[in-house]
Amino acid sequence: MGRGAASKEQVQYMIKNLLNLEIDKIKFDETDALAAAVCHSVKMSSFITSKNNWKSFVDQNHDRIIE
């Protein structure tokens, strides 16, 4: 697992490869945003399939739910 210390060029390279982008002129801010979206997607996917998902949280914490 990374530590968030990748250079802009490294992030750009990985995102272009992960998403199979053939764009030559993509800005660092754009690849940073895509990287954040990819990380969020991966995190949510693992969260949803784990035992620690929202349904189990709600089931275990009725007192913390505001209706």
Q: d(Cα 64, Cα 67) in Å, to the nearest integer?
A: 10
Q: 17 is in which domain, residue-wise?
A: 8-64
Q: pLDDT tens across 17-54, in order?
A: 999 988 888 999 999 999 999 988 887 776 566 666 67
Could you tell me if residue 1 is inside a domain? no
pTM score, whole prediction: 0.62
Q: What is the pLDDT of residue 50?
A: 61
Q: Is residue 3 part of a domain?
A: no
Report yes or no on 2 lying in a domain.
Answer: no
State the total domains in the chain.
Answer: 1
- Residue 1: count other Cβ atoms within 10 Å of its Cβ: 3
Q: Is the pLDDT of residue 16 over 90?
A: yes
Residue 59 and residue 65 in contact, taking contact as beta carbons nearer than 8 Å: no
Domain assignment present for 46: yes
pLDDT of amino acid 3: 75
